[in-house]
Chain A
Amino acid sequence: MPAIAVSTTINDDTVEFLCQPDETLLDVLRNRLGLMGAKEGCGTGDCGACSAIVDGRVVCSCLVLGAEAEGRTIETIEGMANGNELHPLQRKFIEHAALQCGICTPGFLMAAKALLEVNPDPTETEIRFWLAGNLCRCTGYDKIVRAVQDAAAEMRGETA
């Protein structure tokens, strides 16, 4: 199969890569670009561990072809912190112990970031529904929900 040349923007950098026509964006990120934050839990859209933001919408990168990245703007977990300064969501996940093995965490963080961009003050129900496509085998979800609520409050300037 002839490889396809793709030019895209990932975490504010222009990135060019070659991929096979049937290769997923998740495989491109991990295997070709060394961006190992997105994880493959299922490969079929059920677990959300591969979540990335494409043109402002959070999607499962396992259900996107690498070739589809052409001309798009992609955000991955690697672009979330500002240098050494963690994003409030990342900090609150640590403070609330909202992770154990960590496999699901990059996906939860990307999905939660997308939520707070459209809804800075979500209710617990809204958080749980928004994150329903992210599965976690370890935490039992409560700590994740608290961490998102706390980060949202901080980002709204309500707590220190």
Chain B
Amino acid sequence: MRYERPQTIEDATALMAGAEANAFVLAGGTDLLVRMQSDAFEADLIVDIKAISGFDAITQTEDGFVIGAAVPSAALSEDAALVAAWPGVVEAANLIGSTQIQGRCTIVGNLCNASPAADSVPALVAADARAQIAGPAGTREVAIADVPTGPGKVSLSKGEIIEAVLLPKPEPRTADAYLRFIPRTEMDIAVVGAAVNLSLGDDGTISAARVALGAVAPKVLLVEEAAEALIGSNLDEAALEALAVACSNASNPIDDKRGTVEYRKEVAGVLARRAAQTAYARAGEN
């Protein structure tokens, strides 16, 4: 195995594109190093992206925020402007693992590991975030939901590396929230995760919404019917019930020791309701 630490994105993509087989990008390593411990894992090349200039920065632009692919989750909660604009994205990223994991793990790594239960991914989808991808053929941008294609699988081509996550500038009176259910209070894998991002009009009714669910399908779900249930309402009981039903119906989870199909569908509705209430209260304060 070879370890490389390129200084530029061009060198990094060239290394990845030129690798014969089993080449891996290394960000925080909290998934990759765990996999490396297994005998079945083989790597010929590890490309550490943390020395690439700008990759460790959170930048505020006219369009929103650019979060570099090497920014650890802990740094997100230290950025006051980001916390104010996207509290749900930050709370989701801060649920990943322990303090020690927070010091290393990245949201791009969370996305590219492509676990259906990845905590930050539903929040990024609800926030309408995009991934900026560099590759041998230049750069491109895709919606976050288009990066994972199934458990452990992503849509990146050979040589492509995600450079940053782009978060839009929120409209006035907009806020998001993320909740997950785990049987413990810390350090566990989501049984269900729900993210809601909504905007209020001048009269206080919901003018726009995005609802995303994690851990209830092979990949993150953006639930359009759930958003429609919210839009035009004041988050009254009828809207909340329609939201919960839409989320339960959209869920297509697995049955395992952590939760049955029926249970996960029910919890998806309950969490979406609560996340919507939190986002609504936050939006009202903006």
Task: Give A contacts to B, CB under 8 Å.
Answer: 1, 4, 21-22, 24, 43-46, 48, 51, 54, 57-60, 62-65, 67-68, 70, 111, 114-115, 129-134
Contact = CB atoms under 8 A, between A and B. Distances in A.
Contacts of A134: 98
A21 B46 contact: yes
Contact of A111 (B36, B74, B97, B100): B100
Contacts of B34: 44-45, 63
30 contacts: A1-B1, A22-B1, A22-B3, A22-B43, A44-B34, A44-B37, A45-B33, A45-B98, A45-B100, A45-B101, A58-B100, A59-B100, A60-B101, A62-B33, A63-B33, A63-B100, A64-B33, A67-B5, A67-B48, A70-B5, A111-B100, A114-B99, A130-B99, A132-B99, A132-B186, A132-B187, A133-B98, A133-B99, A133-B100, A133-B101
Contacts of A115: 99
6 smallest beta-carbon distances between A and B, as pairs: A133-B98, A57-B103, A21-B3, A132-B186, A63-B33, A60-B100
Contacts of A111: 99-100
Q: Which of A21, A54, A62 has the most CB of B within 10 A?
A: A21
Contacts of A45: 30, 33-34, 97-98, 100-101
Contact of A63 (B3, B50, B104): B104
A63 B29 contact: yes
A32 B19 CA distance: 30
Residue from the set A65, A67, A114, A130 with the largest chain B CB neighbour count within 10 Å: A65
B262 to A, nearest CB: 30
B99 A65 contact: no
Interface of B: 1-3, 5, 26, 29-30, 33-34, 36-37, 43, 46, 48, 50, 72, 74, 97-101, 103-104, 185-187
A111 B50 CA distance: 23
A60 B29 CA distance: 10
B176 to A, nearest CB: 22
A131 B102 CA distance: 12
Given A44-B34, A59-B103, A65 B29 contact: yes
B19 to A, nearest CB: 14
A111 B104 CA distance: 14
A57 B97 CA distance: 15
Contacts of A22: 1, 3, 36, 43
Contact of B104 (A46, A48, A59, A129): A59
Contacts of B33: 24, 45, 62-65
Contacts of B100: 45, 48, 51, 58-60, 63, 111, 133
A46 B34 CA distance: 10
